[in-house]
Amino acid sequence: MIRSERYEGELTLVLSRPDRGNALSQPLVEELLARVDAAFADTSVQRLVLRGEGANFCSGLDLSALEDSSDGQLLHRLVRIEMLLSLLWHAPIQTVAVAQGRAWGAGADLFAACEVRVALQGSSYRFPGALFGVVLGTRRLSEHIGVERARQVLVQGEQLDAAQALEVGLATHATEPGRPAMAVSSATARALRQATRTDLRDSDLAALVRSAAEPGLKLRIAEYSSRVRARLRGVQSNDQGS
């Protein structure tokens, strides 16, 4: 599910579920957690890059087994995703996300958790968690684009295109930057990253759990998913009729 590529001090992890839009299944999340954790423990890795294979970066939470899931199982999956996002947010090395196509839901949160965020032409970004009552990634988004703008994006379920993502600060680049020259030692760079990012992991996790623990999580997600599928079918019908 994940391909890795290594070039000198740069490690690239490629989400490889293109038939599912690289959606985050539970096994994929667990593999990502293990791979990212191992990369951060490896002092020879100075830069971690995340990519998606195929048309999309990551289309969000994999809902293919939703009917067989309980509220508790869904909550556990969201907790593990939050732990992955927090791990990336507090990375001791530079992290880069390169997004094409859809970066939706947990995929948009994955993008936002990285230090360098490349929004390729044609990419789009949605943070729909609030539409089914889940608070995930809210503080990270607000640190990038400001509290008021983040509230607007979340409450209205707004979709941003690549240009808008760059304009508001969700993305940092429109094209991939070159590999940076290290002006300080790797140990100093790690210490600087730790010193300049307040550790609020427990608060972020608590906010997620409080919101997702409300009874009816599965139903809320199913209703949201149904609305999205209907909207996408409508868009496809319009495209075919034009």
What is the pLDDT, as a whole number, of residue 89?
95
175 DSSP assignment: S
pTM score of the predicted model? 0.90
User: Cα separation of 153 and 141, whole Å?
Assistant: 9
User: Cα separation of 15 and 19, whole Å?
Assistant: 11
User: Cα separation of 86 and 4, whole Å?
Assistant: 21
In single-letter form, the type of residue at position 165 comes to A
H-helix or E-strand containing 94? strand 94-99
pLDDT, averaged per 10 consecutive residues of the chain (242 residues), comes to 93 97 96 97 94 97 90 93 95 96 96 97 93 85 94 92 97 88 75 82 89 91 87 68 54
What is the pLDDT, as a whole number, of residue 150?
93
**What structural domains does the chain harbor?**
2-168 (3.90.226.10)
DSSP 7-67: ETTEEEEEE--GGGTT-B-HHHHHHHHHHHHHHHH-TT--EEEEEESTT-SB-SB--TTGG
H-helix or E-strand containing 234? helix 217-241
What is the pLDDT, as a whole number, of residue 144?
95
